[in-house]
A and B are shown apart, each in its own frame.
Chain A
């Protein structure tokens, strides 16, 4: 992964980044590179700064020190629309206005591509159609978001970020509050985007075992720092999980694909 090769250079990089809310710094002097074309998963206990990092990476956080580089340039030099044409973000638990349809939601993704008086173009139409096809929502496009199941709703939001046609997607807890079937539905979709569309995806997940099964690269965070990062095999081990989550685990190989799974020890087993 050479920086001189623009095709594979890290598209989004945090350098010595310090950011936070009010008077409190959440992240301090953090360095982080997103790997091009990979599915990176951020894991870590609540409040460790995963969401903050995700927001900082798309310029939604005030930067106190250091900065974020997008395609090698300071992200603050880009206009907000330019950023939104390159980086798509799905916030945690997003809310749509009551009665909004799936198609209307997807169309919002075209906002950064349109000028103030620009008309709806064929390109916009194609992007929306493709986004709905990829998320398998074409047959539901006229349904109201609030009438959908949790998984369909999350897919509709992902369709919006896909209509944005960005090379990078940042997903903040895309599976939280979904039942197992819908979690798998969303993660399968993300995996397909990475494999088939060469999208670079960074997602915050709470389930370590799902992270191990789906991620190309795992970043474990604790107290605003990156504790460990690497392939699932490198990150998911007894020592790291105990250090990061404070939970003792046994590691077993996944019977399906051999990924390392962490099984928490309970009660007397400890």
Chain B
């Protein structure tokens, strides 16, 4: 367990350094270290590229990955379904739709406003899913079915806007929607970090509630948990985290699905260990996906969301394949 976590951290460190180094203009490690340590003799170009372009982009990718993973970990437990993911449930598409409306119809791409719109959209979506599936208690299966339904409606809404909105604006929004950290800047990093701190802390504080929620409702209630309240609060946290991630980087799929699975494999089920490790896995994956996306076809840039989908689908198939003998 300790070994796998150490490897993970080393992996993040390595990919992070590579992300600072690789690009249209490769920068040698000696210069990167010089820039990062504030050496006044470092080349101006290197300073500009590392500090203003690659560093915020790498940090943003890391944060987005962490957010997606934590949101996925929460929702998988709350729904007691290993296939649940904020993307699958339509929470992300709700957030994306709201952000898209803001961008296309109100011509507002402010790093401060978009997260609010995305959060509002994600929250409305989660509330609608929860509300529609409530029948003296909300069963996980009904939540998922209704989530998928509402999610495709939001997706249809987004397609509608893309089809009939003004082309220039839509095209810009499309890149973001496909899941990209291409226009990362310190302002985005700052906003995302601020959005994530509180929900991350609260999620960790609620790790015991999460542990219990993964049991059947009767077991959780008989141990004294107020299941409906715990579930509602955690879904709210999940929408805050998802909304912030969507606002920063659009729709990046699979991370929320895969990271918790990988983390469980590393450190088991206990959420106080599983959630932070899932965050590291998610950060590592998005950072890697972005690095691959912007180097493999350079100078063209593949959005990280497309890379995660290309790499994620086989990985998911592998997960299922490997578990084929596990009793259902």
Contacts and interface: CB of A to CB of B under 8 A. Distances in A.
Interface of A: 22, 55, 58, 60, 79-85, 88-91, 94-101, 104, 108-109, 111-112, 114, 116-117, 146, 164
**CB-CB nearest 6 A-B residue pairs:** A84-B224, A112-B224, A89-B222, A81-B224, A91-B218, A97-B214
Contacts of B218: 55, 60, 89, 91, 94
B264 interface: yes
Given A98-B326, A101-B268, A114-B208, A84 B222 contact: yes
B270 A91 contact: no
A35 to B, nearest CB: 21
A165 B214 CA distance: 22
Interface string B25-64: 0000000000000000000000000000000000000000
B268 A104 contact: yes
B327 A108 contact: no
A58 B270 CA distance: 27
A95 B225 contact: no
Contacts of B223: 84, 108-109, 111-112, 164
Contact of B219 (A79, A94, A116): A94
Contacts of B212: 108, 111
A33 to B, nearest CB: 21
B109 interface: no
A82 B269 CA distance: 27
Contacts of B270: 104
A111 B268 contact: no
Interface string B220-241: 0111111000000000000000
Given A97-B214, A116-B205, A60 B222 contact: yes
Interface in B154-206: 205
Contacts of B222: 58, 60, 84, 88-91
A97 B226 contact: no
Interface residues of B, number: 24
Nearest to B206: A116
Nearest to B326: A98
Contact of B215 (A79, A84, A94): A94
Interface of B: 80, 82, 136, 205, 208, 211-212, 214-216, 218-219, 221-226, 264, 268-270, 326-327
B219 A80 contact: no
A186 B80 CA distance: 28
Given A22-B136, A112-B224, 7 more contacts: A84-B224, A88-B222, A91-B218, A91-B219, A97-B215, A104-B268, A109-B223
A111 B215 contact: no
B219 A111 contact: no
B224 A99 contact: no
Contacts of B208: 111, 114, 116
B269 A95 contact: no
B272 to A, nearest CB: 10
Nearest to A93: B216
B30 to A, nearest CB: 46
A116 B205 CA distance: 7
A108 B221 CA distance: 12
Given A97-B269, A99-B264, A83 B224 contact: yes
A117 B202 CA distance: 11
A41 to B, nearest CB: 20
Q: Which of A83, A85, A111, A164 has the most CB of B within 10 A?
A: A111
A138 B224 CA distance: 26
Contact of B221 (A60, A88, A109, A117): A60
Nearest to A21: B136
A204 to B, nearest CB: 14
Contact of B225 (A80, A89, A104): A80
A104 B269 contact: yes
B221 to A, nearest CB: 6
23 contacts: A22-B136, A55-B218, A60-B221, A82-B224, A84-B224, A85-B224, A91-B216, A91-B218, A91-B219, A94-B216, A94-B218, A94-B219, A95-B216, A97-B214, A97-B269, A98-B82, A99-B269, A109-B223, A111-B208, A114-B208, A116-B205, A117-B205, A164-B223
B180 to A, nearest CB: 35
Contacts of A89: 218, 222
Contacts of B327: 146
A114 B225 CA distance: 11
B218 to A, nearest CB: 4
A158 to B, nearest CB: 13
A114 B222 CA distance: 15
Q: Which of B214, B218, B219, B223 has the most CB of A within 10 A?
A: B223
Nearest to A79: B224
B226 A80 contact: yes
A112 B148 CA distance: 35
Contacts of A58: 222
Contacts of B215: 94-97, 108
Contacts of B219: 91, 94
A117 B208 CA distance: 9
Contacts of B214: 97
A100 B269 contact: yes
A81 B214 CA distance: 18
